[in-house]
Amino acid sequence: MSEIQLRPHDRLVDDLVARLEPVRPLPSPGRRALVWAGAVLALGLGLLAVLELEGLRGPHPAEAPLVLFGAVLTALSAAYAAFATSVPGRPARWALLPLAPAALWIGASGPGCLRALAGPGLEAPHAPHGCFIFLLGVSLPLSVLLVLMLRRACPLRPNLTAALGGLAVAAAAAALLAPFHPLETTAVDLMVHGATVLGVIGLNGLAGGRLLDRSRR
Amino acid sequence: MLLILAPETRPDALFPLRPRTLESRPQARGGAAMALEERLAAAMRAAQGGDAEAYRALLRACLPVARAAVWAQGLRGEAVEDAVQDTLVTLHRVRASYDPARPFLPWLRAIAQRRAIDALRRAGRRPREVHDPAAYEAEPDARPAPGEGLEARERAADLARAVAALPAGQRQAVEELALRERSLEEAAALTGRSKGALKVNLHRAIKALRASLAGPGVGRPGE
């Protein structure tokens, strides 16, 4: 019985066997996440050469190290979750991994946010569009690299994987911004940051979903 | 019960390493599944290294697994085999994403399930019987009812016996005019009888057949 059922696929099997070439198995999601994190670090070091370390001067809010720690942890965990969900058979529960770090990141930003909203106003002492350009400029190459790396696997839930990738990129960009940005923020800063982060996540989700879906290639 | 399936069409019935005798024994089934897992994982590792024969064996062994996974998603008919082929093509394309340190079957089943879901999305709807047992039970079956062919054959045999029992002239008229559908002129030329005699014989034959076949359980004229 089974032989009869197999026959209709014999031509396809022969064709696939004829096209077989040796392949090297992809590294584990953890290793791929570390490679991507290495690229983020390299980009940060490259930025040191061209930008001033404004963030390391002036007054430091008490929560600043926690915000930075939350952003770094979010970037790493979201990148790992994106790579894990790009492998068939890995549970979608990995998508929950960055939730706690993201809560820490956002929660730690809360006091600064409240201070900024209750502060003297929306005047920006240091053009906030600079932050916007920085975040987008950093996010773009990190997104391209992440999409290229994720495409090598097989994201069966491309939108979920892309959204996780977007979160990783947004968090990494925010972490990279910290040394180059005055840590005492204004309401405009926060709004620009929030909109940019959400925009990066959303754009990655929309565009990445299509870019990553192998059935649409 | 959601589905009533002919045993010969169930994909798990096609599964070469899961014979029906093992279905009711969880330990034996688990052992067979583990053996299959190990065999396929080894074949996939060899295929990643470029072993064509291992790859051929792997693809063939994947067919029933993929078919069962696709079937479980609700695909039916030709769409099942299309999704199985999509699964094989995807497997080939992304074979580097299989981690040799991890189980093979979850990797394969995830791909097959996704290809089945893609097919269902393309089709626009899922089969109703999967989600709506009441609608499935109420669906009329277009095929003939059981015993319908048998009844027709019995009626034909009764009629043949009744025609055979007719007098020769009447039987000839029925055979030539009714069964062979010849014209009066052709039948007259063949039998050597006049057209009027053929008409009378046919009329009497029909009357005799009606009488013989009308009674309950009566199959022969004159009974």
- pLDDT of B96: 93
pLDDT of residue A207 exceeding 60: yes
For residue B21, is pLDDT > 70? no
pLDDT, mean of residues B10-19: 42
**CB-closest option in B59, B85, B110 to A88:** B110
Give me the mean pLDDT over the A112-118 stretch: 62
Domain limits, chain A? 29-216
B100 C-beta neighbours (distance < 10 Å), count:
12
Q: What is the pLDDT of residue B222?
A: 40
- Name which residue leads in pLDDT, B151 or A26: A26
* C-alpha–C-alpha distance, residues A169 and B183, integer Å: 89
Chain A within 8 Å of B63 (Cβ-Cβ)? yes
Q: Which residues of chain A make contact with B96, given a CB cutoff of 8 A?
A: 23-26, 152
A2 and B64 in contact by Cβ < 8 A?
Answer: yes
End-to-end CA distance of chain B: 50
Q: Does residue A145 have a pLDDT over 60?
A: yes
Residues of A in contact with B117 (CB under 8 A): none
Where is pLDDT greater, at B130 or A31? A31
Restricting to B residues 71-130, those with a Cβ less than 8 Å away from any Cβ of A are 81, 84-86, 88-90, 92-100, 102-103, 106-111, 114-115, 118
**Range with top average pLDDT, A204-208, B10-14, B170-174:** B170-174
pLDDT tens by residue, A10-53: 889 999 999 999 999 999 999 999 999 999 999 989 888 877 76
pLDDT band, residue B218 (cuts 50/70/90) = very low
Length of chain A in residues, anyone? 217
Complex ipTM: 0.75
Distance from CA of A86 to the nearest CA of B (A): 9
How far is residue B28's CA from residue B20's CA, in Å, rounded to a whole number?
Answer: 11
Which one of A12, A13, A90, A94 makes the best mutation probe of the B interface by having the most chain B beta carbons within 10 Å? Answer: A13
Q: The tokens 């800063």 sit on which residue?
A: A189
> Does the pLDDT of residue A183 top 80, yes or no?
no
Euclidean distance between the first and final Cα of chain A, in Å? Answer: 35
Task: Give me the residue from B64, B92, B96 closest to A24, CB to CB.
Answer: B96
- Structure confidence at residue B103 (pLDDT): 93
Dihedral class, residue B144 (left if φ above 0, else alpha if ψ from -120 to 50, else beta):
beta
